[in-house]
A and B are shown apart, each in its own frame.
Chain A
């Protein structure tokens, strides 16, 4: 939020455009009331990264947070009120999906932003489209983690653990598909499994715990069904695969192998601590597997040759690729995906420009004619 407090004025300063045909300038003005629908998995941060840029640009917003985090929603609204955000500029609402739809239909709502599931994305994007309203959709992902033959093994294993099990595996941009060139597979896989086995499950407020529970029992049941479906189509469980304990929504750290392209798991997002392993013959096949996904959010490539990793990154069909690091989101860098991961950007100058009118003011030369 501080980043946009500091930089919004520069991003949205009127810009002179180059034209030989006259004096052209671009001005930025806010849309008005935005409807923002945000997910539970980073319950404050998701609000901050929307409110920061879009309040700074002069928009106001109605915020519908996920039904599982109502107290975070209220606490965040309270902080903004305390800071002096006037009434009506930021309003938390507890709404049903039908109510959100009715808001989208109202002419006073000018833009819609969702971070959430594909299902929600389809419903909201089509409703916004029917009303010819601007929307941004940050949806799911099944990001590839591509291990090349010259990767630094210690670092790559550490990054794989961080990328898959961080936030208990519940990050849209987390590493989910581990695509490893065959010459590295026998070195990478046993070490990755050994490191995953060492994760300590338990109370997340205990600082020694490294893996907490899933967000809800429903989330646990969903991923258990996905694992069951994957194994019934031939996948093998190399680690975990079961609920941990009898109380709470804990899943054992899980690693699945032997996932053929006709396995439903091949194209699914696993939103929890379960890694899917895909061997690739070589770099070319690794890129092909990485791109053979309905999603296109992020991804990462691992190599001691940075330029080589960048060339792989250029060929990955996603909105973001990281080199030798699983994923990161910074206010100065654009965040967003392609394909079924959605469209539009959050953060950076590209994010703040999503919900402003970029208006051309043009004074043609006298000899333009017409």
Chain B
């Protein structure tokens, strides 16, 4: 099944992505497997800094993420609920 952004209020197809190839999938798994030991070996405070930063960026960008005209229809819900608080 292709990955498609469709505006459910109009039926308009906005953007389509093809599925990743098997080759890309296995490469992603190998990369993840390789990344695991270094990530797990990091002290909590280092991981905490990065995950905390992710949370901060999400909050900073929430208006854009929730309402970008290019992909707004991936969230058909009233905008307040497409954000997170």
On B, residues with C-beta under 8 Å from A are: 1-11, 15, 17-20, 22, 24-25, 28-36, 38-40, 42, 44-45, 47-58, 61, 65, 67, 70-72, 74-82, 84
Contact = CB atoms under 8 A, between A and B. Distances in A.
A187 to B, nearest CB: 28
Contacts of B17: 70, 94
B39 A247 contact: no
A248 B6 contact: no
A48 B81 CA distance: 15
A152 interface: no
30 contacts: A1-B52, A2-B51, A4-B51, A5-B52, A6-B52, A32-B36, A43-B82, A51-B54, A52-B55, A55-B47, A58-B42, A60-B35, A68-B74, A79-B58, A83-B51, A83-B54, A83-B56, A88-B32, A89-B35, A94-B3, A102-B22, A204-B75, A204-B76, A214-B8, A217-B8, A217-B11, A247-B9, A247-B10, A248-B7, A248-B8
A295 interface: no
Contacts of A365: none
B64 to A, nearest CB: 9
A44 to B, nearest CB: 6
A167 B15 CA distance: 23
B76 A67 contact: no
A1 B55 contact: yes
A301 to B, nearest CB: 24
B18 A94 contact: yes
A93 B20 contact: yes
A352 to B, nearest CB: 12
Interface in A208-235: 209-217, 219-220
A58 B9 contact: no
B81 to A, nearest CB: 5
Q: Is the interface of B mostly helix, strand, loop or mixed?
A: helix
Interface of A: 1-2, 4-6, 8-9, 12, 29-30, 32-33, 40-45, 48, 51-52, 55-56, 58-62, 67-73, 75, 79-80, 82-89, 91, 93-96, 99, 102-103, 106, 108-109, 166-168, 170, 203-205, 207, 209-217, 219-220, 247-250
B76 A214 contact: yes
A205 B82 CA distance: 10
A108 B33 contact: yes
Nearest to A84: B50
Contacts of A12: 44
A56 B64 CA distance: 26
Contacts of B3: 67-68, 70, 73, 94
Nearest to B79: A205
A216 B11 CA distance: 8
A250 B65 CA distance: 23
Contact of A56 (B7, B47, B81): B47
A86 B25 contact: no
Contacts of B31: 87-88, 91
B4 A67 contact: yes
A88 B81 contact: no
Nearest to A81: B54
Given A4-B51, A95-B25, A99-B22, A203 B9 contact: yes
Contacts of B38: 86
